[in-house]
Structure 1
């Protein structure tokens, strides 16, 4: 709780400005990484989230000193608590599911972290804000390649999208390659041809699972004569 005796003097204007500037710089650094990866929330979104969170913290700390008195007692943590719940609406808007693939989850988490960094900077916890920003880059740049190297479960499903020239027996060869590399095809669906497809090109989606190497499978499929394009992603992937 905060009382008039603790906050009558307020905080120097320069200190508040430094808190805001630090939140701006750190939030922009986090957003720059998302911008480089061309995510839905990039440099501007993350910067505004962190900058706004810091401003809310400063208003929570110093914005009510003129009304404090013997009979008026304020809890500055109440404003800060609303930042945590409010940022959930922004994060929720970044997450969407398409064909059972979750996208935007990591970016939403980054926005959530950016708000926390802004709050720490606004509260004057500069070292904590810097440390959290460094931790963000450790996770984004260090754990992403590590996760890709982890062994796959034989029960993990992957979605394979294959485009090929019709009438050459390509699909039969592709299924044979899947079987040869110890993959099981759980589902096969034909995509409706659109304007972007060339005449005579067929696109199918295969839901596969198995202990084999996805990289080896896509390489083998790309070598089949008549294959136009091949791409694979985890069926339950959380896109970074």
Structure 2
């Protein structure tokens, strides 16, 4: 018959183990969610859920790796290496990152998202190892990189930066030429164009990549001019 002390001891052990497991996984979900929300706001193929799953999965695998290492040391046989599973996580995340990279004409999209998945997996491993401060600092640096460095790049290298625009336009003759004419007027050269049926009947979605010639490009003025063009329904700028 089980004694009260035995039951209380087991409940305490279970509760402690549960909390010790829950905290790192919640921290991993939070860290991955912060980065994932930023990617989701740019309509990236790997957004909030993907980043959370990658970070939580990495943290869990790191916890498993450390637990197996303790088991091996406890038996006194063999040499455990807690870094083996972590190494496989870093290698395996490459397949997921490759799925976010797409080439459209002269531009390649998704490299930043692939890199964010890779660094989120590293965050998960750090959380799983109990390195919370390192993870916190990494989250701050990653968010600063994603939020501010793109503006710095555009300011410093704006003359060489490709920009992506999505224009919803009425499906009638001459509209594509009118859009191209407006781009040229504001110092932008069209590098590639992709068209498909728009979300509404009688409309076309035109997705094109433009590059400013020299420093004459003015994206805000270009978008405003496109919006005032007859037949244009909406204009949105997308991150490349």
* Cα drift, residue 135 of structure 1: 1.4
Q: Which consecutive unaligned segments of at least 5 residues does structure 2 have?
A: 1-15
User: Counterparts in 2 of 1:83-122, with a 5 A limit?
Assistant: 83-122=89-128
Q: Deviation digits for residues 52-93 of structure 1, max 9, x if unmatched?
A: 111111111122433445541122111111110011111111
Q: 1:25-70 CA deviation, whole Å, 9 max, x = no partner?
A: 2222322333344432222221111111111111111224334455
1:136 aligns with 2:139: no
Question: Could you say which residue in structure 1 is the equivalent of 2:224?
Answer: 219
Moved more, 165-174 or 213-222: 165-174
CA shift for structure 1 position 152: 2.4
1:19 matched to 2:24? The reply is: yes
Matches within 5 A, 1:1-240: 13=17, 14-68=19-73, 69-153=75-159, 163=169, 166=172, 171=177, 175=181, 180-183=185-188, 185=189, 198=202, 209-211=212-214, 212=216, 213-224=218-229, 226-229=230-233, 231=235, 239=240
The answer as to whether partners of 1:189 and 1:206 remain within 8 angstroms in 2 is yes
User: How many angstroms apart in 2 are the aligned matches of 1:206 and 1:67?
Assistant: 55
TM-score by length of 2: 0.70
Name the CA shift for 1:238/1:60 in 2 (closer, same or farther; >3 Å).
same
Q: Which has the higher contact order (CA 8 A, sep 6+)?
A: 1
Task: Select the structure that is richer in helix.
Answer: 2
Is the alpha carbon distance of 1:174 and 1:60 closer, same or farther for their aligned partners in structure 2, counting shifts above 3 Å? closer
Deviation at 1:203, TM superposition (A): 6.5
Secondary structure at the counterpart of residue 44 of structure 2: coil
Would you say how many aligned residue pairs link Structure 1 and Structure 2?
Answer: 220
> In structure 2, what is the Cα distance between the partners aligned to 1:206 and 1:76?
46
- RMSD value, Cα: 3.8
Q: How many angstroms apart in 2 are the aligned matches of 1:238 and 1:169?
A: 24
